[in-house]
Amino acid sequence: MARTIDSLGGNTYVRARASFDQSPDTNMNSFVDRYFRLSQLGTSVRSEVIGGATTFVTMAYIIIVNPKILEAAGMPFGPSMVATIISASFGTLLMGLYARRPFAIAPYMGENAFIAYTVVKVMGYSWETAIGAIFISGILFTILTVLRIRSWLATAIPESLKISFAVGIGLFLAFIGLNETGIVVIGVPGAPVHIGDLRKPSVLLAIAGFILMGILMLKRIPGALLIGILAITAVSFIAGITPVPMEWTGAPPSLEPLFLKLDILGSLTWGMFSVILTVFVLAFLDTLGTLIALGYKANLLDREGNLPDIEKPMLTDAIATTFAALIGTTTTGAYIESATGIAAGAKSGLASVVTAILFLLALFLAPTFTIIPPHAYGPALIIVGVLMLAPITKIHFEDLGEAIPAFCVVALMSFTYNIGIGMTAGFVAYPLFKIASGNPLALKPGMWVLGILSLLFFIFYPY
């Protein structure tokens, strides 16, 4: 390595001139490290790749599930699958490169069902009009984010509610995992929730996967969740539980039937007001709660419990939702399944870049990426649910003014199968109990806004 001798005030020091002797690969590694702050965050390219891949594998089900749900609204499956993949890849790449957070973006579950079954099936609107309402919501998100109103509202949320978001979403994830694997069955006659058939090979494999992932994480094995998912998938193939796909690759269908088919003018009617309000509130709060919960999981929150530079992931979410409507799919936002990647070691936006690339590859390898069975990825959701319970010890349960609203959030997130419902219930309950306790001055102005917005949500929700 070349060296230069410099003098300054009689003192001599040696300065290594490494830049001229570094290879292109070294320069590239250095750039990646600086841009994504890998050394500063205490992570590595390897950890980010494993984390990004884990997130993708855990949420790859959305490639099939989202278009299947939207098919009920009359949206063609093939183009809808392409729109799902492109919107997820675009939003996640933007999250990685701009916001530089390990949070993946994709069309939200819950919002897609609301559009397909409530807005189209029950209320009778066309899917084009419904997508127009999502576009309007995306524009509103973008304006509110640029004006920093969304971050102002986020900083007004008390710590007990922020903690309850993380805990509630953890239980919600665990509940999804238990249901997806068949360990718990929903809607059984005579009981809303019931234990599944533990004699089924897929359920037994899911239980084995849960134990395997738990042991691997206990032993601090890098990539424990990804190893567990792939191992259970392999065993499922060998045992004949999951069929091997007839083909592994394929050209993506055309996006033309959905591209720019949204009806914006049709959504600007009084009858669509409740729809726009519902989409807006659910997406707004889903994103807010998810970002805070993921921030807790990734240890990214500051001393006040806020996510630094939250405007960036929020703006990413807003732009991604607007883009999703243009190409023909429903509201997108940060996915709580990103917690699996974080648990696997992801700490920076590089993980999101990896996830985005894998989503893009799925355009041509959809049969390959969608073979991961629920009993393989479901146990990972349960494990992450366990990990996200930790902050609950910080809630002051002796103060019922704090405990009851937090309980409303945690319970209703899981029992209604909807993150937004739990959050809105908490935003209504918190001011109410602060007033009842004679301490309304403890509320920041932003909490009053969130409380009123949540109350309007319950009033105008198209039940």
Is it the case that residue 363 has pLDDT exceeding 50?
A: yes
Residue 33 placed within a domain: no
- Report pLDDT for 10: 44
Residue 20 placed within a domain: no
- Report pLDDT for 251: 76
Q: For residue 370, name the pLDDT band (cuts at 50, 70, 90).
A: low
Exposure b/e, 343-360, CB count within 10 A at least 16 = b: bbbbbbbbbbbbbbbbbb
Is it the case that residue 320 has pLDDT exceeding 80?
A: yes
Q: Which amino acid does the sequence have at 204?
A: L
Residue 11 placed within a domain: no
Residue 426 placed within a domain: yes
Instruction: Look at 84 and 289; give whichever has higher pLDDT.
Output: 84
Residue 398 placed within a domain: yes
- Report pLDDT for 206: 94
Please answer whether residues 227 and 216 qualify as being in contact, where contact means their C-beta atoms are separated by less than 8 angstroms. Answer: yes
Q: For residue 165, name the pLDDT band (cuts at 50, 70, 90).
A: confident
How large is the average pLDDT for residues 285-311? 77
Is it the case that residue 409 has pLDDT exceeding 70?
A: yes
- Report pLDDT for 325: 92
Q: Which amino acid does the sequence have at 229?
A: I
Q: Which domain holds residue 433?
A: 44-460
Q: Write out pLDDT tens, residues 185-221.
A: 887 677 788 888 899 999 999 999 999 989 988 887 7
> Which of 34, 111, 26, 104 has its CA nearest to residue 65?
111
DSSP for 119-182 reads IIIIT---HHHHHHHHHHHHHHHHHHHHTTHHHHHHHTS-HHHHHHHHHHHHHHHHHHHHHHHT
Distance CA 325, CA 134 (A): 6
Distance CA 186, CA 409 (A): 21
Tokens of residue 290, six digits:
């998810």
Distance CA 299, CA 387 (A): 12
Q: For residue 6, name the pLDDT band (cuts at 50, 70, 90).
A: very low
The position carrying tokens 């109103």 is 149
Is it the case that residue 28 has pLDDT exceeding 70?
A: no
Distance CA 10, CA 5 (A): 12
Tokens of residue 62, six digits:
């959305």
DSSP for 193-260 reads EEE--TTSHHHHHHHHHHHHHHHHHHTT-TTHHHHHHHHHHHHHHHTTSSPPPS-S--PPPPSTTTTT
Q: What is the CA radius of gyration of the chain?
A: 23
How large is the average pLDDT for residues 67-96? 89
Tally of domains in the chain: 1
Backbone angles phi, psi at 107, to 5 degrees: -60, 135
Q: Which of 2-11, 50-59, 392-401 has the lowest mean pLDDT?
A: 2-11
Helix axes 273-297, 127-146, angle to 10 degrees: 50
Q: Which amino acid does the sequence have at 126?
A: S
Tokens of residue 158, six digits:
């008390």
Residue 64 placed within a domain: yes
Backbone angles phi, psi at 257, to 5 degrees: -65, -15
Q: How many CA atoms within 13 Å lie on the side-chain side of 245?
A: 14
The position carrying tokens 């796909």 is 245
Q: Which of 62-71, 171-180, 201-210, 405-414 has the lowest mean pLDDT?
A: 62-71
What does each C-alpha distance from 300 to 56, 91, 101, 305 come to in angstroms?
21, 20, 10, 9
Residue 34 placed within a domain: no
Q: For residue 261, name the pLDDT band (cuts at 50, 70, 90).
A: confident
Residue 14 placed within a domain: no
Is it the case that residue 407 has pLDDT exceeding 90?
A: yes
Q: Write out pLDDT tens, residues 435-462.
A: 998 888 878 888 898 889 889 888 887 6
Torsion of CA 208, 418, 109, 305, to 10 degrees: -90
- Report pLDDT for 24: 52
Q: Which of 74-78, 158-162, 299-303, 347-351 has the lowest mean pLDDT?
A: 299-303
Going 82 to 84 to 87 to 93, the CA torsion angle's sign is negative
Is it the case that residue 14 has pLDDT exceeding 60?
A: no
